Amino acid sequence: MFYELVKESKEDNQALEQIINMFEPKLQKMLSLTKLGEREDLAQELKYRLIMYIKRYDVDSIPGFWELKEQIQKGKKIC
């Protein structure tokens, strides 16, 4: 489901919004560790960065299982 949302988010802002909503509980938990006056700015910055990473992420470059296995066996760096 997440893979499909990331792929759809390239063209569909509703899919992008769904992804952000999926991260919202974690975001709120982490924001509770910051000063009250800084939370809103930090939340906006984190959501902005999340959007940028999602938009730039190339889902077509994800290796399949067998390709990943081959890369591991050859000792290639996987990132």
**Residue 78: pLDDT over 80:** no
The band of 79, judged by pLDDT with boundaries at 50, 70 and 90, is low
Three-state DSSP at 7 gives helix
Let me know if residue 38 belongs to a domain. Answer: yes
Let me know if residue 10 belongs to a domain. Answer: yes
Total number of domains constituting the chain? 1
Let me know if residue 51 belongs to a domain. Answer: yes
pLDDT mean over 4-26: 92
Task: Give residue 48's domain range.
Answer: 2-74
Let me know if residue 79 belongs to a domain. Answer: no
The band of 76, judged by pLDDT with boundaries at 50, 70 and 90, is low
Summarised one tens digit per residue, pLDDT across range 16-55 is 999 999 999 999 999 999 999 999 999 999 999 999 999 8
CA torsion 34-35-39-41 (nearest 10°) is -110
Let me know if residue 37 belongs to a domain. Answer: yes
